[in-house]
Amino acid sequence: MSKSFYRALVSCLLLILFSGAAARAARDYLTPKEEEQVKLAQILDKRIEVFIKAAERRLLALTDSNAAASKQAQKDLEKWGELPKGTRAELINDIANILDAAITNIDDVALRDEKNRLLSKALKKLADAATRFQAQLTALREQLTGDQERAALEQVVNNVQEILEAANKIPPEEKKK
């Protein structure tokens, strides 16, 4: 991947980060248990998996009022903690921040070592998750009522689009002989 691609990705990322940072500054977007999982995941693709799981937990809390009682939530309780709580706008903002953090982690590695083989693997995982999120977010859009909720969702949608655009620029993997 070229340096210009990563520079463009970083520029877009910075714009996204600074545009919504003030609105989301008051709330921690990860729970303490999720933060612990991020710290434990030192390898890029594993860290991206943690961010994906954190975003999935918020989508679950948003879309299923009985999610906390589900078997999966009970199974995840020890490692991930209780499902995050908050208003719809807060949970959607959390997802935007989580995606921002995932993009930032990928960008940081790319800036230090653009030939790192985990970059494309991590970006592909994030893009796969973003594609799944896109379908859920489309269904959620119809339920939103307030301006804060709509603004938060637009931020998430923008992040998803940035991820998908970046993933489309990944060159195909070379097959080993």
Q: How much of the chain exceeds pLDDT 70, in percent?
A: 82
Span 41-73, pLDDT tens digits = 999 999 999 999 999 999 999 988 888 888 888
User: How does 75-109 read in b/e, with b if 16+ C-beta sit within 10 Å?
Assistant: ebeeebbebbeeebbbbbbbbbbbbbbbbbbbbeb
**How many structural domains does the chain have?**
1
**Residue 107 near residue 13 (C-beta atoms within 8 A):** yes
Asked if residue 24 has pLDDT above 50, the reply is no
Residue 160 lies in a domain: yes
- Residue 151 CB coordination number (10 Å): 16
Residue 113 lies in a domain: yes
pLDDT band at 172 (very low <50, low <70, confident <90, very high): confident
Residue 79 lies in a domain: yes
User: How confident is the model at residue 169, as a pLDDT?
Assistant: 87
Residue 175 lies in a domain: no
Name the 3-class secondary structure at 134.
helix
Asked if residue 122 has pLDDT above 80, the reply is yes
Burial class (CB in 10 A: 0-12, 13-18, 19+), 23: middle
Beta strands in the chain (DSSP E): none
pLDDT band at 38 (very low <50, low <70, confident <90, very high): very high
Cα(93)–Cα(98) distance, integer angstroms: 9
pLDDT band at 148 (very low <50, low <70, confident <90, very high): very high
Residue 22, domain extent = 3-168
Residue 84 lies in a domain: yes
Residue 134 lies in a domain: yes
Q: Average per-residue pLDDT in the chain?
A: 86
Asked if residue 151 has pLDDT above 60, the reply is yes
- Show the tokens assigned to 130: 């973003």
Global confidence as pTM: 0.81
Residue 174 lies in a domain: no
